Amino acid sequence: MLDQLLVYHPSPWEDRDWARVSGLPLEDVWFDAPDGTRLFGWYVRASGSPAVLLWCHGNAGNIIHRLENLALLYRAGLSAFLFDYRGYGRSRGTPSEDGLYQDALAAYECLVQTKRVPPERIVLFGRSLGGAVAGALASQRAAAGLILESTFPSVEALARFHYGGLPAHWLVSAEFNLTERLRTVHMPVLVIHGDRDRTVPIQMGRMVFEGAHPPKDLYVVPGADHNDLVFVGGAPYFERLRRFVKDVSS
């Protein structure tokens, strides 16, 4: 199987004073997955924000590459816990589907047990591949709500789109079946997608939306591709995030 080549694209860590570079109050957080894998993340607390976004990022880079986005969230008054999966950035180990699910569970427990954030103040946020990770977490733990951005129903559905109907199991063993997980998720869901996404086309986002139980909402960002949605969406995008977080956690 070609999972390590086709699914996971981690970047190595670069040592810099990222708090100074970003101007953010980054708190380094080390924690352990259930299998003992050592993981790393950043906790950023915005004043006046009782809720926290638990951020499951996409399949490439590491948390360094989300700093600009993290800064925009912080300036919008949103707190976040952004962590790296195993094999990404400073986190140890090698990525795998089950491993990523374990990592998200560990991040959740870190928020609840160490940071003392109650489940009703946690909003799960998954972007791209991280949507399936956040969805799996939502099927196992209580939370105020779930945000799924630029994500897809399953690896198979995405592979069939990009490889002309070729079955995904010929290429990779990873499934990341978000649709299946959503069957057991009963919390408010916000699906966000760009209408010009060439990596994960908007019809995939609509399929995710259809697979979610109400209450749910679909927010389409006009003109946004896969990797520029945050910046194309601008102030209205962050206002939509802020409103959802406030509504589900108040």
Q: Are 79 and 151 in contact (CB under 8 A)?
A: no
Would strands 52-56 and 122-127 be described as parallel, antiparallel, or unpaired? Answer: parallel
Dist CA 250 CA 50 (whole Å): 9
Active site residue 226: yes
Dist CA 131 CA 63 (whole Å): 16
Question: Which of 75, 90, 74 is CA-nearest to residue 41?
Answer: 90
Report the half-sphere exposure of 170 (CA within 13 A, side-chain side): 7
Catalytic residue selected from 22, 84, 103, 226: 226
Dist CA 61 CA 84 (whole Å): 9
List of E strands, the chain: 9-10, 27-32, 38-44, 52-56, 60-61, 79-83, 122-127, 145-149, 189-194, 216-221
Catalytic residue selected from 103, 150, 154, 197: 197
Catalytic residue selected from 22, 128, 139, 150: 128
Task: Evaluate the omega torsion of the peptide bond into residue 215 and state whether it is cis, within 30 degrees of 0.
Answer: yes
Dist CA 86 CA 121 (whole Å): 25
Active site residues: 128, 197, 226
